[in-house]
Amino acid sequence: MKKVLIIAEAGVNHNGSLETAKKLVDAACESGADIVKFQTAKLGSLVTKYAPMAGYQKENMREDSSQAQMLKRLLLPFDDFKELSRYCKMVGIQFLSTPFDLESIDFLKGIGADLWKIPSGEITNLPYLERVARTGEPIIMSTGMCVLQEVRDALDVLKRNHAGEITLLHCTTQYPTPYQEVNLKAMLTLRDTFGCQVGYSDHTLGIEIPVAAVAMGATVIEKHFTLDRGMEGPDHKASLMPGELKAMVSAIRNVELALGDGRKEPAGSELANLAVARKSIVAACGIKKGEEFTTQNLTTKRPGDGISPMEWYRVLGKVAVRDFGEDERIEL
């Protein structure tokens, strides 16, 4: 079984600080995640000066300004991503960043990006989809806020433009996501409808839902994390602390092991317990040689190293070949 790809989503939880971003890389590496992911954008290409903040952003940041004013404090310059890419290589974790505009796609391609993450908000952005697809490299695409037709339309654009392998992530774009709005079964709908690999981008509190997604067949898990949920910013409150991220990775790896190959047969460790737990046909009382076996003089007891009780009716009516003491295994 192919290992589940775990993406530790740092996003903009560095709050515009390269030093904090590197600490996030360290935490992701320590957790055992496969990838640490950031977000790359040019402010002027991302939002208009009139774009309002989302409701959760207003609530989490306790302010009501524009997206532009908020993002100005959160975005890193391009040169910082060059350093982050270098730093990730040094500490041994894969670097990834989601581009939010065409210039950022070109920049990330220029520093060696060979895997692309399309966020939910760009799934209806045709020029963006074309630019990513034309790299010819693998794509992971989130599908928050989407209906199936929008996913189908985006996939058509990607495939027409020769995208690499595509993995779809089910997602609910709300921070944090209420459990009743997760709808994990929609991940299976994506798999069955489009015949591709699927995963889950999680915005719930805690680690239960991404672990459940793996049990249901997710091949990719993406989860936000932070160094401190008390930090100012739009995503910290819905993010895991480093210790929680590590616990999630461990739980996912355990579930991967537990899923197995689907064949119903005894596990190796079970074989030694088979005889101990099962029963055999034994004498319920003393039985003399030549005496007929009946329901009165036979019973079933542990261990299961004799004739199986499934042979009960084959044994009844047979004649004892020798004397049997109480609890002795019956022989024919």
DSSP 196-210: SEEEEEE-SSSSHHH
By the 8 A CB rule, do 154 and 173 touch? no
pLDDT of residue 62: 61
Mean pLDDT of the chain: 94
Domain boundaries, the chain: 5-259, 268-315
Q: What is the CA radius of gyration of the chain?
A: 30
pLDDT of residue 53: 62
How far apart (Å, rounded) are the C-alpha atoms in residues 307 and 241? 57
Instruction: Say if domain 5-259 classifies as CATH 3.40.50.720.
Output: no
Dihedral-angle region of residue 161 (phi above 0 means left; psi in -120 to 50 means alpha; beta otherwise) = alpha
Q: Kindly indicate the confidence band of residue 43, based on its pLDDT and cuts at 50, 70 and 90.
A: confident
Is the pLDDT assigned to residue 67 strictly greater than 90? Answer: no
How far apart (Å, rounded) are the C-alpha atoms in residues 167 and 158? 12
Section 82-101 average pLDDT: 98
With 0-12 / 13-18 / 19 or more C-beta atoms within 10 angstroms meaning exposed / middle / buried, residue 223 is buried
pLDDT of residue 234: 86
Is the pLDDT assigned to residue 60 strictly greater than 60? Answer: no
105 C-beta neighbours (distance < 10 Å), count: 20
CA-based angle 254:255:259, to the nearest 5?
A: 125
By the 8 A CB rule, do 195 and 159 touch? no
How far apart (Å, rounded) are the C-alpha atoms in residues 56 and 250? 30
Is the pLDDT assigned to residue 275 strictly greater than 90? Answer: yes
Is the pLDDT assigned to residue 61 strictly greater than 60? Answer: no
